[in-house]
Amino acid sequence: SSELTQDPAVSVALGQTVRITCQGDSLRSFYASWYQQKPGQAPVLVIYGKNNRPSGIPDRFSGSSSGNTASLTITGAQAEDESDYYCNSRDNSGDHVFGTGTKVTVL
Amino acid sequence: QVQLVQSGAEVKKPGASVKVSCRASGYTFTNYYIHWVRQAPGQGLEWMGIINPSSQKFQGRVTVTRDTSTSTVYMELTSLRSEDTAVYYCAREGDYDTSGYSFDYWGQGTLVTVSS
């Protein structure tokens, strides 16, 4: 089955920019979507498709993709952005796969 | 507004079965697929499978059914093991235009604890 690999943890100073990456073969064919999850809560979709934000998601969140790597960038990180972030994509068999997750700490 | 409301926490013994429900409201139930995702304590998200109006795709010990009269999806997991202890989420696969077929709405999660 497909796998998506993320860095376990990253930190960012308040107001600075952080990029979270997600690597996997399925990303050569399918866009990643990105989910934010705070402790004890269900995940929330923050980026989908080429670089689209659902209604209500701040424009400091953006996405990009190149080859087998997708990225989520938070420009001007806020304290409330401290969360776990997961990428997700489908693969050629129609299955979905989640990334291993990245814990973002805002300093 | 779209809502997915799941049933409450369960405690089960090894070898037993558990059935978790996910009741949808605020949209046309039959027009959207439902996925199930689980998360073991302190671990990441794991995709379990998908049910749509004509088929489903789940592995192993999972059976999923839909009741269109109540807009409810049921996920049953049999032969429970300690490693099945997790929070189980249902999630709607949204439209292409508004979500790129991503999971746009999630249930609140149901904690299933398997312990002797």
Which residue in A has a C-alpha nearest to residue B90's C-alpha? A42
Residues B38-76: pLDDT tens digits?
999 999 999 999 998 778 888 889 999 999 999 999 999
Q: pLDDT of A60-107, one tens digit each?
A: 999 999 999 999 999 999 999 999 999 999 988 889 999 999 999 999
Query: b/e string for B32-67 if b means 16 or more Cβ within 10 A?
Result: bbbbbbbbeeeeebebbbbbeeeebbbeeebebebe
Work out the end-to-end distance of chain A between its first and last CA atoms, rounded to an integer number of angstroms: 36
Residue of B nearest to A84 (CA): B44
Residue B36 pLDDT more than 90? yes
Identify the contact set of chain A against chain B, taking CB-CB distances under 8 A. Answer: 31, 33, 35, 37, 42-45, 48-49, 52, 54-55, 86, 88, 90, 94-101
